[in-house]
Amino acid sequence: MKLETEDKQSIFEIVAARYFATQNWKWVNLRKDLNKIIKSYDELNEQYASYSYVSRDWYVENMGSKNIHMCNTWDELKNLVTFLNTHGKTFNFLVNTGNRKSFCIVDDSRELDETQAQAIKEVQKLGYNTFVFLATIPDEIEFQLLQVRGVN
Domain assignments of the chain as residue spans, ordered by start:
5-134
Residue 147: the pLDDT is 84
pLDDT tens-digit readout, 56-74? 999 898 888 888 899 999 9
β-strand partners of 140: 2
pLDDT band, very low/low/confident/very high, at 42 (cuts 50, 70, 90): very high
What is the average pLDDT score of the chain?
91
Residue 12, burial from CB neighbour count under 10 angstroms (0-12, 13-18, 19+): buried
Phi, psi dihedrals of residue 28, rounded to the nearest 5°: -130, 130
pTM of the model: 0.85
Give the pLDDT mean for 134-152: 84
The rounded Cα 16 to chain-centroid distance in angstroms is 11
Q: Which amino acid is at 111?
A: E
Sheet of 129-134: strand order equals: 26-29, 93-96, 101-107, 129-134
Which phi-psi region, left, alpha or beta, contains residue 24 (left: φ > 0; alpha: ψ -120 to 50)?
A: left
